A and B are shown apart, each in its own frame.
Chain A
Amino acid sequence: MPRVTTLKEDPPESLQRQELGSAVVRFAGDSGDGMQFIGSQFTQSTALCGNDLATFPDFPAEIRAPAGTTFGVSAFQINFGATVIKTSGDDCDMVVAMNPAALKVVLPELKLAGLILVDSGTFTERNLHKAHYDTNPLEDGSLTPYRLIELDISAMTLEAVKEFGLGKKEALRCKNMWTLGLVYWMYDRDRQVTIDWLNVKFTNLPDLAAANIAALNAGHAFGETAEIPDGVHGFSIGKADIAPGEYRTVTGAEALSWGLVAGAKLAGLKMTFCSYPITPASSLLHTLCNLMDYDVVTFQAEDEIAAVCTAIGASYAGSLGITSSSGPGIALKAEAIGLAISAELPLIVVNSQRAGPSTGMPTKTEQSDLHQAVFGRNADSPLVVVASRSPSDCFDVAIEAVRLSVKYMTPAILLTDGYIGNAAEPWLIPDFESFESFPVEFRTDPEGYQPFLRDEKTLARPWATPGTPGLEHRIGGLEKDFDTGHISYDSANHQRMTEIRVAKINGIADDIPLQTVEEGDDKGEMAVVGWGSTFGPINRAVSALRDEGGKVSHIHIRHIWPLPKNLGDLLEGFDQVLVPELNKGQLSTVLRSQYLTDAQTLSKVSGQPFKISEIEAAIRDRLEK
């Protein structure tokens, strides 16, 4: 009997998924189109696939700008891959445009020959006009440098959900799910995480859950069965080589909130978080007000000044007072921060920086409040400034801010920015037990107590809270006598108090880690020095140049004030110092003044993060000179 072997045939090469190392996809639509939502769903699913990733939500300040306008376009970008991902990506491999305005806005971000997925159902004369297109780009040949997937997603969504009897407007709201379904198919992602989420979200509206799931499935099925224009047969991306352990995705706002809660716990304090709503800082308040079961008291104040003053009152009474805002709000808090410096009370001030000056661009990122943090108060008023570099880094930086603030009885400003706050990345969840605690010891002994007698080593005054018998005392913003803490207008005393306030903060340099080099050697032709959210693009750019043999290193500063005590010596080991910053040169000014080093600025203030290529080009340019 002849043996029959049936070979399982591979599909023809033309129908196989194309293997990619990584991909950058940008979803764009009207603010009401649910782009942030499908972006975050795609992020979850991608993380579960084992890819590394970084995201960049980019949305307008308007909550619901007029539909179809370019200024109402909301976008979400994700960079994911089988390799380590450190930025949300430079140019996009694929853009999804839910209407003509979205296409107009995202097209400049697309690589040549990149993929465009558009909902052709929205390319009506009216919408084209609103997006200021004179001719239909789908027809006038202007998109020929790209690969266009033109589908009437609107019509197909209506068809997919018609059995649920939704009104047309409601039915069309499922468009984003249809689109997500198709993009899931294109990149071989699992839909289950989204289906689970929809079932929970719409527990009480089962029809709406079912309609959304039907749209999601229809989009996915379309990818599987229909022939997608332009010969696209989907992509596959291998798993990234990721350290073993338990992971989650985390945004900067979440990690920062949890870091503050963790810091308070390590200090043995309750926390009182006082804030006034402001973009992009409000997400901290939203996260923390749901953590009452962690003994977190949140307070929405009537204004920025009330927020910081309430936090100061809480610290005075023995809680960890925290306030949070963005640049314009921090400006309003400046006088009160000075009070906390003078009264020498712990206080955490979080600044989620945004583009300025004044109201500026509330939803766009910038790093232009470094000078405000370090110098932005009347008189000689030093305090601690730390900066987080990425969403997950916010957790560690928050704990560090709390540690320094309570140990040295000083306000600490934590700089993050709109980009870090909203962006998400996978996070190897740390074991909280591995963090060293730093329990606060309140003063209780009346023997020899004076409110401003200092610890010899830290120069911090004792923390004595109301309610403690025998330690009744009066403090305030007036200058205090060095020994007794009573009001003093004595000139020599003021000199002495000013000196010791400065010495206390400078001395913290002995209690923070020495500056390390992130990438490269501790000597070379160029140090690229960064702080905050520029970490990813700087690191990628330096790695790329080192691969070519460039003698360039990446140094990233967490402790902005005081600076690590070896930083000056470290910089001396390099011929050039380049500081890429999303401002006009604020860290470089500080480095120049502190170390007399010829630090050069690479400045970008467009409201967008650096691209790797921009930093790479700047380094290359200077190395070749």
Chain B
Amino acid sequence: MNVVTPLKKLTPADFATDQEVRWCPGCGDYAILKAMQRTLVDIGATKENTVFISGIGCAARFPYYMATYGFHTIHGRAPSVGTGIKLANPDLDVWVITGDGDALSIGGNHLLHVLRRNVNLQVLLFNNEIYGLTKGQYSPTSRAGTRSPSTPLGSIENPVSAAALALGAGARFVARSVDTMQKHLPVIFKRAHDHNGTSFVEIFQNCIVYNDEVFAEFTAKNVADDAEIILEHGQPLIFGKQKNRGLRVRSGFIELEAVTIGEDGMTEEDILIHDETNRALAGMLALLEPPSMPVAIGVLYCDPGSSYEDGVKDHMDEALKHSSGHDINALLRRGHTWTITG
């Protein structure tokens, strides 16, 4: 006999497992986990239809702490496993949890292609600019000069910009947030969830053990207002403690410049309005770096198109119109056959 239990509203605690969380004390991952459990309540998610997929790395432990379905796979391949899940059951809500090494180094190819195909899932990249789980080697997002166990004289490689790479790969939703922004993270997660197609979210996440305060130059409380610009669609690109700094296109150049309202005749009218459907603007915002420019936080780009699964479904529906009811005997007899009589 089926037992019918009345629907009760879930709480963040309902999305937590009984597993002991094994990240280092003070790790930014705790805050992201908390924001995610909050988000799932806000969006009315069900435990059974939600799936967290991860690769390898500190971030990849995430699924063990979510009381949903979860699959901790192999290094860099979570986008592929997620794609398979969506091909088999497009109704599932799939979140891919990855890190800078997992997504941009060993799994770089899969990130490129999941974005290009626009599979309807969310990719959350926890960027801490370091390999944590293998004890502190430099990562593909580490800045040049990063000293680590594998680069005693400092890294000589240029880092990759995750958001710029995602845009280049054809992502149709690119956003950023910070582990400590507990009000902002759930908003971004909800936007990512609501987007049809691959949603790419880069989260600046502090590794307290191997790369502590690597983002402090723009995330620290005393500098954030001046060093971050919080993007709002349709709103002027204004930032700064005094709300008097803004971005505009530098006259005669294809680039952004930061100006001060009230100086050199600048007014609010001179400031660019954020249009998250503008790919070119998103590309420029993705590349803004301190100290000369603020780091763009929020939805850089959102321009929905049809998802990969939509395309698959269209083809399948069309083919099934001509189906013989999956008659295997008919399949085996397609084309030329002949009969030998005894």
Contacts and interface: CB of A to CB of B under 8 A. Distances in A.
Contacts of A487: 19, 64
Contact of A466 (B85, B110, B326, B333): B85
17 contacts: A44-B336, A248-B333, A272-B87, A292-B319, A293-B323, A305-B110, A310-B80, A310-B83, A312-B84, A313-B83, A313-B87, A314-B87, A338-B74, A467-B49, A472-B68, A474-B19, A478-B72
Interface string B1-33: 000000000000000010100000000000000
A193 B336 contact: yes
Interface stretch (A295-303, A496-504, A560-568): A295-303
B72 A336 contact: no
Interface string A303-334: 10111011111111111010000000000000
B337 A295 contact: no
Interface in A199-250: 242-249
A310 B74 contact: no
Given A265-B326, A293-B323, A477 B74 contact: yes
B84 A471 contact: no
A292 B315 CA distance: 8
Interface residues of B, number: 59
Interface stretch (B88-96, B146-154, B156-164, B174-182): B88-96
B72 A317 contact: no
B331 A294 contact: yes
Chain A at the B interface: mostly helix, strand, loop or mixed?
mixed
Given A295-B320, A472-B67, A477 B72 contact: yes
A319 B323 contact: no
Contacts of B234: none
Interface in B83-117: 83-89, 91-92, 109-110, 112-113
Interface residues of A, number: 71
B84 A474 contact: no
A313 B88 contact: yes
Given A44-B336, A270-B88, A467-B89, A306 B113 contact: yes
B22 to A, nearest CB: 9
A21 interface: no
A471 B109 contact: no
Which residue, of B53, B71, B109, B320, has the highest number of chain A Cβ atoms within 10 A?
B71
A66 interface: no
B237 interface: no
A313 B82 contact: yes
Q: Closest 5 A-B residue pairs measured CB to CB?
A: A313-B84, A476-B72, A292-B319, A309-B80, A244-B342
B133 interface: no
A86 B249 CA distance: 76
Contacts of B84: 272, 274, 299, 309-317, 319, 321
Given A313-B85, A316-B81, A317-B89, A475 B333 contact: no
Contacts of A313: 53, 71, 80-88
Contacts of A47: 338
A22 to B, nearest CB: 18
B338 A339 contact: no
Contacts of B329: 431-433
Contacts of A243: 340, 342
Contacts of B89: 317-319, 465-467
A338 B109 CA distance: 21
B320 A293 contact: yes
Contact of A246 (B48, B53, B80, B338): B338
A121 interface: no
A348 interface: no
A77 to B, nearest CB: 21
Contact of A309 (B48, B77, B328): B77
A472 B69 contact: yes
Contacts, number: 204
Nearest to A266: B328
A245 to B, nearest CB: 6
A306 B110 contact: yes
A302 B109 contact: yes
B316 interface: yes
Interface in A87-116: none
A477 B64 CA distance: 12
Contact of A244 (B17, B323, B335, B341): B341
Which residue, of A44, A293, A297, A474, has the highest number of chain B Cβ atoms within 10 A?
A474
B340 A467 contact: no
B51 interface: yes
A469 interface: yes
A472 B88 CA distance: 18
Contacts of A316: 71, 81, 84-85, 88
A466 B48 contact: yes
Nearest to B22: A487
A474 to B, nearest CB: 4
B322 interface: yes
Contacts of B49: 466-467
Contacts of A472: 47-48, 67-69
B69 A305 contact: no
B73 A339 contact: yes
A372 B77 CA distance: 22
Contacts of B66: 474
Nearest to B322: A293
B319 A474 contact: no
Which residue, of B88, B110, B320, B339, has the highest number of chain A Cβ atoms within 10 A?
B88
B88 A319 contact: yes
